[in-house]
Amino acid sequence: MSSNSTAATAGPSFGDDQRITELRAITGEIDDLRAALRLLSWDQNTSMPEGAGEARGEQMATLQGLIHDRWTTQRLGELVNDLATPIQQAPFTDADRALLREVNRERVLATRLPRGLVEEMARVEASSFEAWRKARTNNDFASFAPWLARTITLQREVADRLGFKATRYDALLDLYEPGLTTARVDALFAPVREVSVRLRQRIEQSGHTIDASCLSGTFPADQQMRLSRDILTRIGYDFTRGGLSISPHPFTTEFGSPFDVRVTVHPHEDMVDDALMAALHEGGHALYEQGSAPILARTPVVGGVSMGVHESQSRLWENAIGRSGAFWRGNLDVVRAVFPEQFADVDVATFTNALNKVSPGLIRIAADEVTYNLHIIIRYEMEQAMVNTSVAVESLPRMWNERYQAYLGVTPPTDSDGILQDVHWTSGFGYFPTYTLGNLYAAQIYAAMRASISDFHERLAGGDCGVALDWLRERMYRWGKTYLPEELIERVTGQRPDPSYFVEYLTRKFEQIYDLPTEAASK
């Protein structure tokens, strides 16, 4: 595997060309402004009083404007042009090349999307969010439809300004996953759709059920926070460069990776798995950010390279590792220490199976591993229709419901449980596919990791999460954005992204859990 040679090197480094040094100084200042902007936003979502909304909006607009202006300065343009040819050769390093690439990417975005358009998008998003919130409460898609139409128009304008080869939607995909195209997503997703629908049907037909009652009960919030903290500590999350707190929805944020990467969860007192698995999910995002080599700090090369690769790490830690029997053989003691009475008589198999119960439903965020990607594929198909074709907004709820019936075997009784369930379409399109990409990457990385560490299973079952974290840090995390997504996956796994790993992973895992007769996975 190529990853072995990668592992032998010393990690990313910048060369000493004076122009690279100047680029790093300029982007360092921009990164400081970006960190301040993120903190203003985080505070807005966690602590800010309601009466400060307008003032905070002005503060954030000022910082956004300063950042925008800095990406478009003449000096930065000179440096980019001046380096364009020499950067391809020695003595420039991979990190130097990534730095130039990311600077250029930010410059193109800032140049092609003028401040006026970006501000208009922010205003429409704020109004659209309010309209969506009310429409979902009142099950009234018609009142949200005009805002969705406005977002479609703006997203088309964004695509036209950014440019694309095949379809407008490609330009939006590229925003979240550099280099990704619709054609590539289609090729990657087709086997996922097939295996998911098939597995869902096989499980239903098997008549096998799982008892997940051990996850319900009474679990006080403060004890759940202790459990989240303990499990994060187990997987190697560094609390001296992070923090755990409560927010309405779990998220990971950073104010200068790799030195300040914080996570949140939201305990529900009647179930233990929601906050626990959120801690593992956000923990995966956070381990990736904390793992960047410190030399990359305050440059655009630090942190996760794309949304899809980022999601691969949250899914890897939450699902591949965090819903495995080996992991809970090594870590169920953490759960038992916090909730001794509830889990005294629950064995590892019962607990692990409960975490993997398959229940096809209407709601994406409550979906199991088997059906999750079907929710994404429906949204992906509809986003293409909205951006690339002249589909009537009014017809979208029917399209949504028909696909849910076809892929998941359920039909939403209301639009609030259907097309109105996600916040994403108040801001734009192109983000959803990265969730499924993340699942594909995660399965491929997990396979490579197990293949290259002969005693992986035993060490994980012995409570040693470092066996995974060390491997990931060395081959992947410390490189930040040095390599683009598909190149990074190839360096880590020896192969370009290939959906067959996920098909194999999902099939074998749920055949075992649901005691299904074995089928060829790559049908």
List residues near a copy of itself by CB under 8 A. Answer: 28-29, 32-33, 35-37, 39-40, 43, 47-52, 54-56, 58-59, 62-63, 66, 238-243, 245, 255-256, 259-260, 262, 297-298
Taking the complex as a whole, the smallest distance from the CB of residue 298 to a copy of itself amounts, in Å, to 7
| Closer residue to a copy of itself, CB minimum distance, 52 or 166 | 52
| Closer residue to a copy of itself, CB minimum distance, 242 or 267 | 242
Strand partners of residue 141: none
Q: ∠ CA 71-72-73 to the nearest 5 degrees?
A: 100
Structure tokens at 103: 């600077």
CA torsion angle 297 300 303 309 (round to 10):
-160
Distance CA 506, CA 369 (A): 8
| Closer residue to a copy of itself, CB minimum distance, 53 or 114 | 53
Taking the complex as a whole, the smallest distance from the CB of residue 244 to a copy of itself amounts, in Å, to 10
State residue 57 phi and psi, 5-degree precision: -60, -40
Distance between start and end Cα atoms, the chain = 26
Taking the complex as a whole, the smallest distance from the CB of residue 285 to a copy of itself amounts, in Å, to 16
| Closer residue to a copy of itself, CB minimum distance, 16 or 32 | 32
Structure tokens at 289: 């950010």
Distance CA 330, CA 465 (A): 9
Taking the complex as a whole, the smallest distance from the CB of residue 45 to a copy of itself amounts, in Å, to 13
| Closer residue to a copy of itself, CB minimum distance, 283 or 497 | 283
Taking the complex as a whole, the smallest distance from the CB of residue 469 to a copy of itself amounts, in Å, to 17
Distance CA 188, CA 176 (A): 16
Q: How many CA atoms lie within 13 A of 467 on its CB side?
A: 22
Cα 350 → chain centroid: 29
Strand partners of residue 216: 271
Torsion region of 109: left, alpha or beta (phi above 0 gives left; psi -120 to 50 gives alpha)? alpha
Distance CA 281, CA 313 (A): 8
Taking the complex as a whole, the smallest distance from the CB of residue 515 to a copy of itself amounts, in Å, to 45
| Closer residue to a copy of itself, CB minimum distance, 22 or 490 | 22
| Closer residue to a copy of itself, CB minimum distance, 129 or 255 | 255
Sequence-ordered list of residues with C-beta below 8 angstroms from that of 29, at least 6 positions apart, any chain:
70
In 117-270, the DSSP E strands lie at 242-246, 252-254, 261-265
Taking the complex as a whole, the smallest distance from the CB of residue 39 to a copy of itself amounts, in Å, to 6
Catalytic residue among 102, 177, 254, 282: 282
Structure tokens at 134: 């009310």
Q: Is 50 a catalytic residue?
A: no
Taking the complex as a whole, the smallest distance from the CB of residue 246 to a copy of itself amounts, in Å, to 13
**Are the CB atoms for 397 and 141 separated by under 8 Å?**
yes
Nearest Cα residue to 453 out of 467, 442, 473, 466: 467
Distance CA 90, CA 472 (A): 28
Which sequence positions are flagged as catalytic?
282
